[in-house]
Structure 1
Amino acid sequence: MIKVLLLRGVNVAGANRLPMPEFRALLEELGLRGVETHLQSGNAVFDDPGVADLEAKMATAMRQRFGFAPAQIYLDAATHAAIVAACPYKAEALADPTAVHVWYLAAPAKPDQTALRAVATTERFTLTDHALYLHAPGGIGRSPLVDRLERALGVPCTARNWRSVQAIAALLKAAA
């Protein structure tokens, strides 16, 4: 089955750095096939032949090889396609793909949306069971909403901008 793995908290430089060639090799050593990665941020697409306890094996292998074990979000290709299709900010993403972000959720979240909307300035968001979509025309770097968002969601999650979401979708299409 074709799957997506999204790691949280992987950085291009400094702490939690994850060299993609070594990451791809680790995934293959775990028994995954056709491994492709995008950027230096822990985005991977692969064929999982049914590796038992993949999440636990991945955490152990990551800790041993890289010295950290980031949170992992796994999605099958159909779920990722549904997340992409459900984005309510596609027009905004066409205009500026860096202004639209998707928070992939490990489980449905039940934040206090009224409280979150109260701190939003120019941002708009939409929550579903699998994702939180954010349109942040002023960027996310100084957003008081984004600063509170992950704690408010209360479930493991990781965010990608629309450009990365589309790149992952392209990897999935190529893997199919």
Structure 2
Amino acid sequence: MKTFIHLLRGINVGGHKKIPMAQLRECYESIGLHNVKTYIQSGNAVFQSEDEVLKSDLENAILGSTGFEVPTMLFSPEEWKSVQSDMNTVFVQLPEDHKAYITLLETAPSATEVNRLREKLGLEESLKVVGRAVYLSYPKSLAKPSINNNVLEKILGQRATTRNQNTVNALAKMIEQL
């Protein structure tokens, strides 16, 4: 069996694109996926399959189940463990008064795109890009960071979805328990 991590973007936020996690689990099971587990209501799933799984097949199944399109990201356990390891390295010296987020991308950005992101950073903000992950941190006192998910998508020209450290760690633990 192969294990996968699937992240949904923009569901259950502000009353839009509501998908109960029970419905998401049923949707995945209906297309033959096994050991489906979800984490919190923001669209985080771990599952197993006897075959390769395509992101487009998952998105089509969600569309069929809910009636609306949901952008998603698909990761292997190796990719996810790398994201977690890099996160722990990048944020190891992070002051307690800072927030830290990991934005996950469809593809790794080019050096030019990363430089465009850096140009948007405020003085108190920090950014590091490793593969498909963008690690952002800034002081909790900062009312509005310069870079958010929408800014990233616009600059990079691709879909992105953001998670916090707790979610990254919880999904890594779920992988280990399968």
The TM-score range, normalised by the shorter chain, is 0.7 to 0.9
The C-alpha deviation readout for 1:109-134, integer Å capped at 9, x for no partner, is 12544443333222101012221111
Within 5 A, what are the aligned runs for 1:67-106?
67-87=67-87, 88-92=90-94, 95=96, 99-106=99-106
In the superposition, the TM-score normalised over structure 1's length comes to 0.86
Structure 1 residue ranges without an equivalent (≥5): none
Find the counterpart in structure 1 of residue 175 from structure 2. 172
From 121, 127, 130, the equivalent of 1:128 is 130
Find the counterpart in structure 2 of residue 35 from structure 1. 36
Mark the CA change 1:135 to 1:128 in structure 2 (over 3 Å): closer, same or farther.
Answer: same
Aligned length: 172
Contact persistence 2:28–2:61 (CA under 8 A): no
The residue identity in structure 2 corresponding to 1:91 is Q
The residue identity in structure 2 corresponding to 1:9 is G
Mark the CA change 1:56 to 1:144 in structure 2 (over 3 Å): closer, same or farther.
Answer: same
In the superposition, the TM-score normalised over structure 2's length comes to 0.85
Matched residues in 2 for 1:24 and 1:119: separation?
Answer: 38
- Alpha-carbon deviation of 1:158? 1.1
Contact persistence 1:99–1:139 (CA under 8 A): no
Find the counterpart in structure 2 of residue 144 from structure 1. 146
Mark the CA change 1:140 to 1:33 in structure 2 (over 3 Å): closer, same or farther.
Answer: farther
Mark the CA change 1:116 to 1:169 in structure 2 (over 3 Å): closer, same or farther.
Answer: same
**3-state DSSP class of the match of 1:86?**
helix
Identity of aligned residues (%): 26
